[in-house]
Amino acid sequence: MIALAAAAAPSAPVIPDFGPTDPCVTGHHLFCPGWVHDNWGSTIQPALLQHIKLTAIAVSVGFAIALLLALAADRYRPLAPPFGVLAAIVYTIPSLALFQLLVPLTGLTVTTVEIALASYTLIVLFRNTLTGLQSTPPDVLEAARGMGLSDPQMLVRVRLPLAIPAIVAGLRVAVVLTIAEATVASFIIPEGLGFQIREGIRTSFSTGILTAGGLAVLLAFTADGLLVLLQRVLTPWSRRWRVA
């Protein structure tokens, strides 16, 4: 038995099978479309979807909180400056530091990342929502009052709809910023396009970096465009206005 194995060894050397090798990848070319095609389903698409999910949750939660804060500050004016300053202070703290400061409380989890990302959206969303609510033209308010609308009715039927352009403008900035910031989340959790970028740095793989980085920018522009469309749908009167 032993002799047989020893005799067989030289004639059949064991070459580890690394699978099919792409000369483009092994040759360190700048960009390998083949790699993107081969790894789309296994690596890139999941990272892109994770990134979208991270952003969507953060902006939704941030918007819900900002809307509540703005409504509160609109009702009780003295609340506006402290809310604004608090959001500004949070925004000033660098993301990498804020992530780490939250880790002892919530661990290396998605929750940590979402808390930080949602907090960053507050400054833009709170300020834009509040300013939108407070910049209803006085004659419109007077007309609404004259029609006999109560305060809550005026808020829901007049002031909120007229604040939509300001709110959407805030959402656009918040979404684009969050998509960029979510790449930093990869220092906490191995998810999103940021993780693919870091893998690219670690392995000096330019295709991975260009793909993930390009997708992040593309995602930001797409989301921005979709929000512009949303605004057009939500405020049909502004289009008629412009034509007139």
Partner 1 sequence: MAGRVSALFGMNVFGDALGFIRDNPHLLFDRALEQLWLALAALAVSIALALPLGAWLGHRHRGSLFAINTANVGRALPTLAVLALGIVVLGLGVGFKTNLLALVVLGVPPILTNAYVAVDRVDPEPVGAALGMGMTGGQILTRVELPLALPTIFAGIRVAAIFIIATATIAGAVGGGSLGAIIVNQAAYGLDGVFGAAMCVALLALLVDGILWIVQRLLTPRGLRGRTAQPTYDTPIGTLAEAGAR
| Contact residues for partner 1, defined by CB under 8 A | 30, 84, 88-89, 91-98, 100-101, 103-104, 123-124, 127-128, 131-132, 165-166, 168-170, 172-173, 176-177, 179-181, 183-184, 186-187, 193-194, 197-198, 200-201, 204-206, 209-210, 212-213, 216-217, 220-221, 224, 231, 238
Residue 64 CB, nearest distance to partner 1 (Å)?
A: 19
Q: Which residue lies nearer to partner 1 by CB, 90 or 149?
A: 90
In whole angstroms, what is the distance from residue 226 CA to residue 232 CA?
10
Nearest residue to 102 (alpha-carbon basis) of 185, 162, 7: 185
Least distance CB 165 / partner 1 (angstroms): 4
For residue 25, how many C-alpha atoms fall within 13 Å in the half-sphere facing its CB?
Answer: 15
Nearer to partner 1, 46 or 205 (CB): 205
Q: Do 89 and 145 form a contact (C-beta atoms < 8 A)?
A: no
Nearer to partner 1, 130 or 158 (CB): 130
When the beta carbons of 158 and 193 are compared against partner 1, the nearer one is 193
- HSE-CB at 122 with a 13 A cutoff on CA atoms is 24
Residue type at position 183: T
User: Residue 223 and residue 51: Cα distance in Å, rounded?
Assistant: 12
By beta-carbon proximity to partner 1, the closer residue of 158 and 209 is 209
Whether 125 and 175 have beta carbons less than 8 Å apart is answered as no
Q: How far is the CB of 152 from partner 1 (least distance, A)?
A: 24
Q: How far from 5 is each of 11, 14, 15, 16, 82, CA to CA, in Å? A: 10, 13, 17, 18, 79
- Smallest distance, Å, CB 38 to partner 1? 20
